[in-house]
Each structure stands twice: as structure tokens, then as C-alpha cells.
Amino acid sequence: MTVSRVLRNRGDVSDATREKVLEAAKELGYVPNKIAGALASQRVNLVGVIVPSLSNLVFPEVLSGISQELEDTGLQPVFGVTNYSPEKEESVLYEMLSWRPSGLIIAGIEHTPAARAMLENAGAPVVEIMDVDGRGVDSVVGISHRRAGLHMAEAILAAGYRRIGFLGTKMPEDHRARKRLEGFEEGLAKAGITLADTEFYSGGSALLKGREMTEAMLKRTPDIDFLYYSNDMIGAGGLLWCLENGYDVPGKLGLAGFNGVDLLDGLPVRLATMDACRREIGRTAAQIIAGRPHQGLIGGEVVELEPVIQYGDTIRRA
């Protein structure tokens, strides 16, 4: 049909006919059926994006980076959430692939064998994001959480802290938090130091949990001189508690979180943290997907971003 040509601005159509079609379309409130279009053309302008959660500030920023970058590429992101469950990831992935998207962006490089197989046979570019510690299926964009933890350990040791506690989430499936902790312990081990205490939580208001865990740890292990939190939110809660209770921060007690969320800007004292390059990761991943059609399906790029430590006011400086 000529109509099809007009609606997609393709092929040569006379202005007269074009106008007529456009007018009729508007009048009828016509919305083309992409299902049929996609089936016929074997092309779908959708990019599947799979993340574990929307509730912790970090993924919304990644998504917004993706949306922004995809803005005028004609591609549309479609989001799926797994709640850190590998089974849910598998089903969300299956569902997405059944729509034959033009690309897929998925958080993490740990997947069930079935999920991995699907990714390998996706027939579209796949970008695994957030984490570069391991082998990806196709392209990978992220930071090394292992090295992030390691560098933070070095910075803390360099500042002279020695009795160090770790506070984090109790989520076996949060591989990135796990890798940060492993890297952190490795960094401490190089100086012959082991963690003085650890505390884990799950669920609830992160800010509140940060308070509670901090109090519990400082009561239990009073000689601790540094608290390393697995995310900024619990770190902020801990920081507030320490300030209220008269701790000498960063003199006698140092603190650090992870992520670099802008919430920290509003705290009375700036928590030390490490920027996780969230928006940048989203943008880069989107660029890879959007650029692929031109460059062919070569794939396999690995982009490692470098998070930098923001010392803020909670690590004492030399």
C-alpha cells in the first residue's frame, strides 16, 4: 500500500498523496500496528533492558542514561526487573527475546546456564553492564568492583586506619557487592589486616538500617576505627548516627560508602564514596547497541570505566 510508504517517509510519494494520507490518518486516529510491521520487516525498534531493581537509586540513573542516548536513534528501551532473582531474570529474558528486540542490555555477567544460552543465541547485540570482573557473552561495559574494593582498602590503610568493619546487604545474588567485599578484603590482606567485624542486613529503609547496624557494630566492637559500607544509603544512615552520637569523624572514626549518589551532597558532612559511573555506563551501553547496525555485528567490546574515590569529609587526609 502507498499508505505504508507515507507513514514511514520512505520511497517516493507525491506531496499531494502524502497530504491526503496524513490527513486521513489523523482523522481516523490511526495508529499503525507495529506487530504486523515487525513481523513483515523482521525488524523491531526495541532494546530490552534488564536490571535487578529500581528501588536503590542506582539503576534508575543507568536507565536514564540509556533513554537519553537512545533518544533520537529510533530505538525504544523496554525495561524488565528481576529483583535479584536468577529465575526471574531467566523468565524476563525469555519474554523479552520472544519479541525479537534489536538489542539487549542486561545488568551483571552472572547468569543461569539457560539465560546465558539465550543471550548467546539472541541474534542481536548484547551488552552486559555494571561489572567487568568475569567473561561476558558479547559486549561488556562497567567497572571492576573487585578493584573498586581493593582501591578503597588501600586508601583507608594509607590514611592510617587499622580496625576496619564492613557493613552491607545480605544478598547472595548481589555479585557486585560481593566482589567489592572480596577486593576489599584482599586489599586489607596485603597489609596483613583482616576485617575487625561485619554486619549484614536485608530489607527495610536503608538509611535506618545503616543507623542500626552502625550502632550495633560500634557497641559490639568499640575499638573499630573505620566503617566501610556497601552502599551510600546505609553509609549516610551510619554517618548521621555517628555525628549525633559525638564520634570524632574522621579523626577517630572514618567512614566510606559506595556509588556516589547525589543525596550525599545534602548531608551535613560529605561521606567518602566512589563514583560507580552509572549514567556513563548506561550511555555507553546504549551507544554500542545503537552503533552496531552500522559496524556490523562484530561485538565483543569490553569497556572498563574507572571509578574514582571521593574522599569527602569522612576519611582523614595526610
The verdict on 9 binding DNA (CB under 7 A) reads no
CB of 154 to a second copy, least distance (A): 28
The verdict on 14 binding DNA (CB under 7 A) reads yes
Cell numbers linked to 250: 574522621
Q: By CB under 8 A, name the one of 111, 211, 278, 292 that touches a second copy.
A: 211
CA 271 to each of CA 41, 127, 256, 266: distance values in angstroms, whole numbers, following the listed order = 52, 32, 6, 10
Which residue number, 35 or 297, has a Cβ lying nearer to DNA?
35
What is the per-residue binding string for a second copy in 279-318, x denoting contact by CB under 8 A?
----------------------------------------
The verdict on 38 binding a second copy (CB under 8 A) reads yes
The verdict on 40 binding DNA (CB under 7 A) reads yes
CB of 7 to DNA, least distance (A): 6
The verdict on 4 binding a second copy (CB under 8 A) reads no
CB of 137 to DNA, least distance (A): 22
The verdict on 32 binding a second copy (CB under 8 A) reads yes
Residue 265 interaction partner, one of a second copy, DNA, none, beta carbon < 5-8 Å per kind? a second copy
CB of 118 to DNA, least distance (A): 14
**∠ CA 268-270-275, rounded to 5°:** 145
Which residue number, 12 or 223, has a Cβ lying nearer to DNA?
12
Q: By CB under 8 A, name the one of 240, 255, 286, 309 that touches a second copy.
A: 240
The verdict on 318 binding DNA (CB under 7 A) reads no
The verdict on 13 binding DNA (CB under 7 A) reads yes
Task: Find the binding residues for a second copy in span 91-130 (CB under 8 A).
Answer: 94-95, 97-100, 117-118, 121
Total chain residues near DNA (CB under 7 A)? 23
Q: Residue written as cell 491526503?
A: 20
Q: By CB under 8 A, name the one of 13, 60, 154, 193 that touches a second copy.
A: 60
Which residue number, 40 or 318, has a Cβ lying nearer to DNA?
40
CB of 39 to DNA, least distance (A): 4
**∠ CA 74-79-85, rounded to 5°:** 150
Rounded to the nearest 5°, which phi and psi values hold at 240? Answer: -60, -45
Q: What is the 3-state secondary structure (H, E, C) of the chain?
A: CHHHHHHCCCCCCCHHHHHHHHHHHHHHCCCCCHHHHHHHHCCCCEEEEEECCCCCCHHHHHHHHHHHHHCCCCCEEEEEECCCCHHHHHHHHHHHHCCCCCEEEEECCCCCHHHHHHHHCCCCCEEEEEECCCCCCCEEEEECHHHHHHHHHHHHHHCCCCCEEEEEECCCCCHHHHHHHHHHHHHHHHCCCCCCEEEEECCCCHHHHHHHHHHHHHHHCCCCCEEEECCHHHHHHHHHHHHHCCCCCCCCCEEECCECCHHHHHCCCCCEEEECCHHHHHHHHHHHHHHHHHHCCCCCCEEECCCCEECCCCCCCC
Q: Which residues bind DNA (CB under 7 A)?
A: 1-2, 4-5, 7-8, 10-14, 16-17, 32-33, 35-37, 39-43
Q: Which residues bind a second copy (CB under 8 A)?
A: 29, 31-36, 38-39, 44, 54-55, 60-61, 63-64, 67, 76, 78-79, 81, 94-95, 97-100, 117-118, 121, 204-211, 236-237, 240, 244, 262-268
